[in-house]
Structure 1
Amino acid sequence: MKKLIAITALVTLFSANLFAAPAPKKVNGNDLQKTVAVTGYNNRMNIVVSLTDAIAIRPVVQITDRQGHQLCAEKLGGKAGAYKSFDFSELETGDYTLTVTAGQQEFKKQVHIYEEEGKMTYFFIQ
């Protein structure tokens, strides 16, 4: 009976590991979301994407509209401090997605652009 319980426990343990979702691979030992900073400057309608740490695979930043049309794609440098500034002032009101990808890792920020008192502004949707 003890052998049957032990075998059942082992089978349960191994089968749980088979179906568990794999952890996202790190890029150069770094979690991409912790290595990339996304900062907004509402007064200029700019969003700056920068690296807080060096990374082996250069991240690609894409901006898409609600329909999934790619509006922009830029590659960041791989050194700490590298950055790109994206001007959102010419975009219409609506929702946009800023996607940062490096290797198999990616993270997204949703941006909502709207007009308030005759001025365009935006905020990040969490």
Structure 2
Amino acid sequence: HSSVERIIIPDSCILLDYVLEKFRAVVQGLVVYEENMLENMKKTRGLVFSQELLLALLTKGLLREEAYRLVQRNSMKSWQERLDFKTLVEKDAAIMQLLSHDEIEGIFDLSIYQAQVDYIFKRCGLD
């Protein structure tokens, strides 16, 4: 099959070079509006933290289906009724039996998503 490899390997490398060049151009021209990003996150009323809540419930030993049901129940109510997700979670007795107030605060802390930023920048040569 070396005849196929003689075509595929160079073509793959050329394609990779093209994709990386396009990506570089996108990243170089990227403009970040931090205030807009934070405003957009606030518009979700905390729903961006639903995955972190699901993971916390799983670490407490809940089966995935049950944890998903608890998160979905609150997230759907938050979305449909335009209510704050964290407030709904704090009022949910089933969740509060498993998670402490401090754990809930940690789940809804935006800084957990920024914890590795310096490391990522360093790996990209942007330190």
TM-score (norm 2): 0.27
- The structure with the greater share of residues assigned to helix is 2
